[in-house]
Amino acid sequence: MPVAFLRRAFGALCGLALCWCAQALAQDMPGAKDHPAVKRFAGSSLVGYEMRNFDEVDFQTSTFKEMDLASYQRRYVQPPLHLEGKLTRLWYEAAGNTRALELYRNYANELAGAGFKTLYDSSKDPAATDWTNFLASVSEGHRDLVKNTRSYYVFMAASTASLRTGTFQKDGTTVRLIAIDWGKADEVYKARQGAYIAVDILETQAMAQNMVVVSASDIGKSITATGKVAIYGIYFDTGKADVKPESKPSLDQIAGYLKEAPSAKLHVVGHTDNVGGLDSNMALSRRRADAVIGVLTKTHGVAPGRLVGNGVASLAPVANNGTEEGRAKNRRVELVLQ
């Protein structure tokens, strides 16, 4: 594939990027640290670092076939491995005479020695080429990273050097390697001659539910100001309407508000994400609202006539249902003043 074509194809993408923020000096980026699952190459510097408590990643497990440059949709011989969990992204610089092949093989051998299983290795894939793997690895950063002007995937888009990629897994930890040569020093990208490797580590885990319990006082303030309040601390199993015991702190605060405002009457409105059919979610959200009312009346002594249950399924989202984070925000109970 001609280099000129690739430069044009990624011109718009690179135009979004600011200069790479890592220092040209051989020192680690402030605040960056190695991940305990992966050692670093001797003499290399950690020049890019990012940690996310929860994210989703598609890991390549077969030959990359093609990519739609407009939508960044990728096609492989086999579907990629989609995982969610804690994500750590590291970007190492090995300046001098080190090249991508040496850098990549050191990491691959180290991971194999530590018990990681190889799910994909472009250096052993006869159908892979430098540029097809380049396209695959750049697009693997997902659209959110492409929009991130400090992304090291965007940084790599300026290079015409060879590139190697691999996916390795052990228990609940999955590692992606992307190694690239940098032929000469470049002041624009603050790059030194040598090789670079991106190391992505995803530790599979469920997302922690960290929504703050709203106090009785804050419930009253929100209802006075806007006529409603969203409650996130009420939990149900998937597809069920039984209120889980860990919902007690939030229910206690709702009961506290109703005691402090004895004349207040509320609609209790159940909301779901868009997973599943609309009709079934409509019924489920109503059952969940009724379940909340049942706990408040039976356990906390709230008069039944003060509460009316309703369900609107996914028809009133407050976030994008296309991500787990967004779906979590949409799964809620709202109290609306009658």
| All domains in the chain, ordered by first residue | 3-204 (no CATH), 216-337 (3.30.1330.60)
What burial class does residue 308 get, using C-beta atoms within 10 Å of its C-beta: 0-12 exposed, 13-18 middle, 19+ buried?
middle
Q: What is the pLDDT at residue 129?
A: 59
CA 291, 296, 297, 298 dihedral sign is positive
Q: What is the pLDDT at residue 205?
A: 83
CB under 8 Å to 21, separation ≥6 — which residues?
29, 48, 150, 190
Q: What is the pLDDT at residue 143?
A: 33
For the chain, helix (H) and strand (E) counts, in that order, are 10, 12
What tens-digit pLDDT sequence spans the chain (338 residues)? 333 333 333 332 233 232 333 333 458 989 999 999 999 999 999 988 999 888 888 899 988 777 666 655 667 788 889 998 999 999 999 999 999 999 999 999 999 999 999 999 988 888 775 444 444 444 344 333 333 323 344 344 444 347 788 999 999 999 999 998 887 776 665 678 889 999 999 999 876 666 668 899 999 999 999 999 999 989 998 889 999 998 999 999 999 999 999 999 999 999 999 988 899 999 999 999 999 999 999 999 999 999 999 999 999 999 998 887 788 889 999 999 99
Q: What is the pLDDT at residue 2?
A: 38
Q: Which long-range CB contacts under 8 A does 36-39 form with residues at least 24 apart?
A: 37/114, 37/173, 37/175, 37/201, 38/90, 38/107, 38/110, 38/111, 38/175, 38/199, 38/201, 39/110
Largest CA distance in the chain: 78
Kind and range of the H or E run holding 297 = helix 278-298
C-alpha 196/C-alpha 181 separation (Å) is: 6
Question: Is the distance from CB of 137 to CB of 165 less than 8 angstroms?
Answer: yes
C-alpha 162/C-alpha 137 separation (Å) is: 12
Encoding tokens for residue 320? Answer: 């994008």
The amino acid that residue 118 corresponds to is T
> Where are the strands (E) in 139-193, listed by range?
163-170, 173-182
Encoding tokens for residue 190? Answer: 């603050």
Q: What is the pLDDT at residue 272?
A: 95
Instruction: Tell me, yes or no, if the pTM score tops 0.75.
Output: no
Q: What is the pLDDT at residue 209?
A: 60
